[in-house]
Amino acid sequence: MNAEFLPVTMEEARERGWDQVDFVYVSGDAYVDHPSFGAAIITRVLEANGYKVGVIAQPDWKDPESISVFGEPRLGFLVSAGNMDSMVNHYTSSKKPRRSDAYSPGGKAGMRPNHAAAVYGNLIRRSYKNTPIIVGGIEASLRRLAHYDYWSDKLKRSILLDSGADIVSYGMGERSIVEIADALASGLSIEDITFIDGTVYKTRSLDYVYDAVTLPSFERMQQDKLAYAESFGVQYRNSDPFTGKRLVEEYPHGVYVVQNPPSKPLSRGELDAVYRLPYARTYHPMYEAEGGVPAITEVKFSLASSRGCFGECSFCALTFHQGRIVQSRSKESLVEEAKLFADDPDFKGYIHDVGGPTANFRAPACRKQMSHGACPHKSCLFPEPCKKLEVDHEDYLGVLRSLRALPGVKKVFIRSGVRFDYALADPDDTFIRELCEHHVSGQLKVAPEHVSDAVLSVMGKPRNEVYERFRKRYARVNADLGKKQYLVPYLMSSHPGSTLKEAVELAEYCRDLGYMPEQIQDFYPTPSTISTCMYYTGVDPRTMKPVYTPKSTHEKALQRALIQYRDPKNYDLVVEALRKAGREDLIGFDEHCLVRPRKGGGKQAGGQGDKRGGKQGAQSRSGARDAKQRPRSERADARDGKPRSRKAGTDSRDTRDDRGPKRSRRRPEGAAGGSPARSKKGSSRR
């Protein structure tokens, strides 16, 4: 717990006896040496392999001197925007600036530039003309080839070209970064390092690229959106480390960008070794005067147990970044890390999370994935669980039981999201029972996302009846345990495939459940998701079939207002949406109506709300009181703005790195078996 930080000044490097560092790591985040942060893992992995690394955190991008702290490194600069895509870090889905940044000292916003990886790369290149520059992290990974940029509303080139860098290290970079370092240390020129899996490089000749799939050229994609959809479909089908092909993208002036196949997944022993490295496990003391770095608060006592996800939600870029093959740490590794918590005076006995992209995924979906890869044209869970899917919660339950038994541990929460369709596929209720008995504190967050099967099919999510079955089973198990616990469904508006008809369907569901979310997440077109490709091109890249996408600000407002129809501020929007959808039957005084007609042309107070009374309304009010009355320590799992194990910048709602925080932008209410409860701020979603 008291490991020495890597040097942040040349003076500190000299104290170690170094005259020159091998690598300078430039990050858009404040320096936090904790394995939930990509910078910490990459720098410690390099250190473990004998390399000298200095860290420059959040340099002043207007001042070239800010990246010259260590002078010229012996081998190269490593550049990352941080644990999040910098544009997602800066802006909401409505493109409004965020007021804070959990990854900066004191939560201060504006400590990094827009498109940070490209800006840092160009800043370095102006001062160091020939020094190798390797860009990595979530921003570079998801922008490694031509991609749609929501904030400029245009197709952008590979970040390799826009950043002035030599190589992109994409995906989970432990393997590729060591191979790059070893190649440079052996004397190879950066231009000759073209053979490493998990990297992207540029070239003017394809003479030695003999086995690649050629994607549509950048110029063609600029002229034809369907060409981009075609390209993204090819990329998506080649994102597996065992079956993925080399890809080539042509740019003007005879430049080619070549993507090598993804790196192979780490074995359990290799992943354990990464987390056994000597992290300081906190932020650098230079931030103490500013109040520290907020992002450490939750991950400090959380455990990242896995990476990779075979869930394949369309709005999530995990397949594109981490891949579909799940890798997990051993129980012994997780227990060993948890024991370190007791040495920290801030530890109060609560382990905040044990999970990853999906908490209850702890192994590949089937045995063949580790030798033959994931099926390129089939999903493991959608539209139905594959017959070869191996559903087993026993390993995860063993981990949770061991952690619960540790001295000083009062509660072990699961906040990184439970995939409810996978839980249902297990004929044994043991996992759901122990989840309810030990790992939920009043509310469990799950992510059905929508109720319309038409929208769910576009999202790659299970049909609504699957969620309904889980909701009933959850209620039954809690009743058997004598517990009053609520299910909090996350919902998304304006996703591709959602017309006003489907939005009304979602509003009616909320009405019948007696549930109104306080905040709704609009679909957020973040780089390199299937849903973002749909948003830009109007077709599903997997099938090339047209998909309706709400794009105007006003239509998005209409869909969001329908879900929050009880809010008086939304009255005019709700009425307009209902009329456009041909559902004026929902304007009236009957119980099934969403809003009442105006009285004498005056202002309307709003929707029916809980004034309808009845069992649902009474349960809603009592559930809200129960949720509020629980002690703060027991409501800890309902907070917002806390780091999660999910991978950053990967989700088209609000993206984060799996080694860092994910903030939900809303506070939903919840329901157990249909009984709502007002929630504190929400956790991450599956």
Known binding-site residues equal: 309, 313, 316
**Binding-site residues for [4Fe-4S] cluster:** 309, 313, 316
Token pair listed for 117 = 């990886």
How many angstroms separate the CA atoms of 70 and 76, rounded? 12
Task: Output Rg (C-alpha) for the chain, integer angstroms.
Answer: 25
Token pair listed for 141 = 């990974």
How many angstroms separate the CA atoms of 271 and 281, rounded? 17
Cis ω before 383 (30° cut-off from 0): yes
Nearest CA-CA partner of 565 in 521, 520, 499, 628: 520
How many angstroms separate the CA atoms of 563 and 83, rounded? 31
Q: Count CA atoms closer than 13 A to 544's CA, side-chain side.
A: 10
CA angle 272, 436, 421 (to 5 degrees): 75
CA angle 376, 371, 541 (to 5 degrees): 10
* Residues whose CB falls within 8 Å of the CB of residue 221, separated by 6 or more in sequence, listed in order: 146, 155, 227, 228, 231
Nearest CA-CA partner of 516 in 420, 608, 625: 608
Enumerate the H helices of 352-429 as residue ranges. Answer: 369-372, 394-404, 420-425
Nearest CA-CA partner of 560 in 598, 513, 510: 510
Nearest CA-CA partner of 433 in 470, 382, 478: 478
Query: Amino acid identity of 222?
Result: Q
**What's phi and psi for 466, nearest 5 deg?**
-70, -45
Nearest CA-CA partner of 252 in 298, 317, 202: 202
Residue for token digits 């904030």?
Answer: 151
**What's phi and psi for 12, nearest 5 deg?**
-65, -35
